[in-house]
Amino acid sequence: MSGDIVLYDYWRSSAAYRVRIALNLKGLAYRSESVDLTSGAQRGSDYLARNPQGLVPALAIDGHMLTQSLAIIEYLDQTRPEPRLLPLDPALCAQARARAQVVAADIHPIANLRVLNVLRGEFRADEAAVQDWIHRWISAGFAALEAQAPQTGLLGGAAPDLSDVCLVPQMYNARRFALPLAPFPQLVRIDAALRELPAFAAAAPEAVQK
């Protein structure tokens, strides 16, 4: 395994934020190439050649171009296994994946920029309706995670796992869209503890904004 690692990134993308956290946790040096989603750079021919979906992130690593944040993070965990983000025990691994997918499969895809722009444009939703939509789906996912969250420690226990890596960017989005977080005290506690860790702090949008 050799060569530069290049992350095709956007500072406020929660999916790219997950990958930044994972790269930092693994102690991997990488170069970030910004893909400005607000200007439509993700739809340019050069970027579509890297990722035909026109989404961020994409990661150039080990001679591969990888897409989809959870797939990228699992690749990192398989090729650079320390510290582990997915437990070796099959049941614990399935549980970590399930918690991560509450965010990555159930919340994020229906509250991301593409969907919100369709709501505003094609369905003529005003900003109050868009915010209600965002709050509904983040709240539903967070309620499920809150019910599974421990009273002490992180979602992954003593050390962050894949679900912790997914939680922090989604909490960032929740605050960005002014979701009341009082119903989710354990998630608030866990998020605060994670954001104190250097790998998470260095990946935060305010730390990488260009």
Mean pLDDT by 10 residues, the chain (210 residues): 84 96 98 91 92 96 97 98 97 98 96 90 95 97 98 98 98 96 98 98 92
pLDDT of 113? 84
Q: CA-CA distance, 4 to 45, in Å (whole number)? A: 23
SS3 30: coil
Cβ neighbours of residue 210 under 8 Å, at least 6 residues apart?
Answer: 11, 34
Phi and psi at 209, nearest 5°, equal -55, 135
The CATH fold of domain 90-201: Glutathione S-transferase Yfyf (Class Pi); Chain A, domain 2 (1.20.1050)
Sign of the torsion formed by the C-alpha atoms of 198, 199, 200 and 201: positive
pLDDT of 107? 97
Q: Which two tokens stand for residue 14?
A: 């929660």
CATH 3.40.30.10 fits 6-83, yes or no: yes
| Location of each CATH 1.20.1050.10 domain in the chain | 90-201
Nearest to 85 by CA among 168, 75, 49: 75
Sign of the torsion formed by the C-alpha atoms of 151, 100, 179 and 25: positive
DSSP class of residue 102 equals I
pLDDT of 8? 97
pLDDT of 21? 98
| Location of each CATH 3.40.30.10 domain in the chain | 6-83
Q: CA-CA distance, 85 to 77, in Å (whole number)? A: 6
